[in-house]
C-alpha cells in the first residue's frame, strides 16, 4: 500500500481520507462448534476471528506432540541434534508407546533405532507415542527432563494455560493446555520452521513395512489444508489443530473436545471457510521502508525517514481496507543524535473510527549531532517553533 509522506513536525497521514469515516462491512457471527473450546486465528497477524472457551484448561491428548516436535525443531536449529542422528528405542519408549500400550504407535522395535527424521515423521504423521518418547529421551535423557524444556518453550511463547508432563499427551492431572495456546503454538511452528512444516501435510508414512495414514481427514477433503495435528483420548474427546492457505492468506483453527473424528473435521472446515470468506489480511507497511519524513534539529542532516521496525499486517473484514486510517505521530522537536533502535514516535491505525493497532516509528538511519554552528542555529530556530 503506497502511503503519502506526512508533514514535518507533528505528522498526520491518512489512507483514502474520503472514506475515513465509512463503516466497516458487517460480518456475520461465526459457525457454532459442538465442542468444549475452539479458536480461529489468522496466521500472519495472530488475530482471533472466532473463539469460545479459548483459555479453558483442557486435556490436549496428542496435540501435545506439537510441543514435542517444536522442542525438537529448536534443538535442530541450535545444532544440538541432526536429522540423521540415530535414535534408539528404550524399553520405556517401547513399553509405554508401543503396540501393546493401546495408544497410537509407530511400531518401533525394542532397542531398535532409526534416524531422527524418521522418528519425527512417525510423531507427526502416525502420532506415534513410542516415537515421541524416543525423541524426548534422545534430547534430554528422560521424558521428565524433556518436559522441563517443553515448559520453558511454553513460557517463551507466552502460553498462559499450558503445562506439560510428558511428550505424548497421555492423561495426567497436571498435563493441560488451552485452545488459544495450541493456536499460538501452531502459528509458531508454521512461521519459525517452514522447512519442517511440510511434513504435517504428508498423508501417509511407511516404516518397517507398515503403512499408516494421517488421521487428519481435512488433508483428504480440502487441498488448501496442509496440517496440523489430531488428538484423542476418552477424557479429551476428539481434537484437531488445522491450518489452510488460500492465496496469500493462512488460517489456523483449533477445536477441542468434540464427539467424533467427523465432528472435529466438519467444525474445523466450517471455521476455515468462515475466516477466508469474511476476512482479508494485508501487509500495510514493510520494515525498513519510509512511512514519513521528519525534521531533525541539531543534526548532521536536517531530515530523517521514519519507518516501522517490523512489518505491519492487518486482518480486517473483507471490503473494509478503504476504511483504514493511518496516523504517524512524532514530536516536533526531534533532536539529534537519533538511534534506529530507539522509537521516536508511533504509527496508529484505526478501522471505521475504532483503534486497530499501534506500531513504533523508528529512524531508518542514525543521525549524529551536527556541527557547533548547526546546533547553535537550530537552538535559535527552536525558540520560534
Could you tell me which residues come within 8 angstroms of residue 173 by beta carbon, excluding any fewer than 6 positions away? none
Grid cell 489512507 is found at 15
18 is known as an active-site residue: no
pLDDT the model gives residue 23:
57
d(CA 273, CA 253): 11
Per-position pLDDT tens, the chain of length 385: 333 333 333 343 433 333 344 556 789 999 999 999 999 999 999 999 999 999 999 999 999 999 999 999 999 999 999 999 999 999 999 999 877 777 899 999 999 999 999 999 999 999 999 999 999 999 999 999 999 999 999 999 999 999 999 999 999 999 999 999 999 999 999 999 999 999 999 999 999 999 999 999 999 999 999 999 999 999 999 999 999 999 999 999 999 999 999 999 999 999 999 999 999 999 999 999 999 999 998 899 999 999 999 999 999 999 998 889 999 998 888 999 999 999 999 999 999 888 999 999 999 999 998 888 877 886 777 787 6
Task: Assign 243 to helix, strand or coil.
Answer: strand
62 is known as an active-site residue: yes
Grid cell 533532536 is found at 335
Please tell me the number of Cα atoms within 13 Å of 310 on its side-chain side: 7
pLDDT the model gives residue 234:
94
Q: Does domain 17-23+283-382 have CATH number 3.30.360.10?
A: no
d(CA 50, CA 38): 8
Q: What is the DSSP string of 7-45?
A: PSSS----SSGGGTTPPPPP-PPPPP--SSEEEEEETTT
Query: Which parts of the chain fold into alpha helices (H)?
Result: 64-77, 91-97, 116-124, 129-140, 143-157, 179-192, 194-197, 218-221, 261-278, 372-382
16 dihedral zone (left: phi>0; alpha: psi -120 to 50; beta): left
CA nearest neighbour of 76 among 112, 115, 114? 115
Could you tell me which residues come within 8 angstroms of residue 190 by beta carbon, excluding any fewer than 6 positions away? 43, 197, 227, 228, 243, 250, 252
Could you tell me which residues come within 8 angstroms of residue 317 by beta carbon, excluding any fewer than 6 positions away? 24, 25, 26, 27, 278, 279, 280
In the chain, where the domains are located: 17-23+283-382, 37-258
Q: Which residue pairs, CB below 8 angstroms and at least 24 apart, start in 340-347?
A: 340/364, 340/365, 340/366, 343/309, 344/294, 344/306, 345/11, 345/294, 345/306, 347/285, 347/291, 347/308, 347/312
Supply φ then ψ for residue 214, to 5 degrees. Answer: -70, 135
305 and 363 in contact (C-beta within 8 Å)? Answer: yes
147 and 137 in contact (C-beta within 8 Å)? Answer: no
Q: Write down the catalytic residue from 47, 90, 121, 127.
A: 127
132 is known as an active-site residue: no
Q: Write down the catalytic residue from 47, 62, 298, 325.
A: 62
Q: Write down the catalytic residue from 47, 65, 121, 266.
A: 65
pLDDT the model gives residue 24:
61
Fold of 37-258: Beta-lactamase (3.40.710)
Amino acid at each position: 500500500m503506497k502511503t503519502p509522506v506526512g508533514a514535518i513536525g507533528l505528522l498526520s497521514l491518512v489512507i483514502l481520507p474520503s472514506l475515513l469515516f465509512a463503516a466497516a462491512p458487517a460480518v456475520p457471527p461465526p459457525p457454532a462448534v459442538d465442542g468444549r473450546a475452539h479458536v480461529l486465528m489468522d496466521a500472519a497477524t495472530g488475530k482471533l476471528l472466532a473463539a469460545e472457551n479459548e483459555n479453558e484448561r483442557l486435556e490436549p491428548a496428542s496435540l501435545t506432540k506439537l510441543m514435542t516436535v517444536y522442542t525438537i525443531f529448536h534443538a535442530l536449529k541450535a545444532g544440538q541434534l541432526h536429522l540423521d542422528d540415530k535414535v534408539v528405542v528404550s524399553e520405556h519408549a517401547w513399553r509405554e508407546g508401543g503396540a501393546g500400550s493401546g495408544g497410537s504407535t509407530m511400531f518401533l522395535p525394542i532397542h531398535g533405532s532409526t534416524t531422527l527424521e524418521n522418528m519425527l515423521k512417525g510423531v507427526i504423521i502416525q502420532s506415534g507415542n513410542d516415537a515421541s518418547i524416543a525423541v524426548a529421551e534422545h534430547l534430554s535423557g528422560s521424558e521428565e527432563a524433556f518436559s522441563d524444556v517443553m515448559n520453558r518453550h511454553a513460557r517463551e511463547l507466552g502460553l498462559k494455560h499450558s503445562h506439560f508432563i510428558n511428550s505424548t499427551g497421555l492423561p495426567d492431572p497436571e498435563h493441560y493446555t488451552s485452545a488459544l495456546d495450541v493456536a499460538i503454538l501452531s502459528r509458531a511452528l508454521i512461521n519459525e520452521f517452514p522447512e519442517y512444516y511440510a511434513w504435517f501435510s504428508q498423508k501417509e508414512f511407511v516404516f518397517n513395512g507398515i503403512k499408516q495414514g494421517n488421521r487428519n481427514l481435512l488433508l483428504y477433503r480440502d487441498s488448501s489444508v496442509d496440517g496440523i495435528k489430531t488428538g484423542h483420548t476418552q477424557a479429551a474427546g476428539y481434537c484437531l489443530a488445522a491450518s489452510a492457505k488460500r492465496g496469500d492468506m493462512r488460517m489456523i483453527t483449533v477445536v477441542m473436545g468434540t464427539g467424533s473424528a467427523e465432528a472435529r473435521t466438519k467444525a474445523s472446515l466450517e471455521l476455515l471457510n468462515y475466516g477466508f470468506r469474511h476476512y482479508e489480511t494485508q501487509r500495510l507497511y514493510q520494515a525498513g521502508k519510509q512511512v514519513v519524513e521528519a525534521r531533525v534539529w541539531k543534526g548532521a542532516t536536517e531530515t530523517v525517514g521514519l519507518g516501522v521496525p517490523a512489518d505491519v499486517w492487518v486482518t480486517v473484514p473483507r471490503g473494509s481496507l478503504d476504511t483504514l486510517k493511518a496516523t504517524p505521530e512524532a514530536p516536533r522537536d526531534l533532536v539529534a543524535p537519533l538511534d534506529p533502535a530507539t522509537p521516536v514516535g508511533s504509527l496508529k491505525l484505526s478501522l471505521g473510527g475504532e483503534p486497530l493497532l499501534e506500531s513504533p516509528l523508528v529512524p531508518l538511519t542514525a543521525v549524529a549531532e551536527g556541527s557547533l554552528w548547526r546546533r547553535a542555529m537550530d537552538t535559535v530556530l527552536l525558540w520560534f517553533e
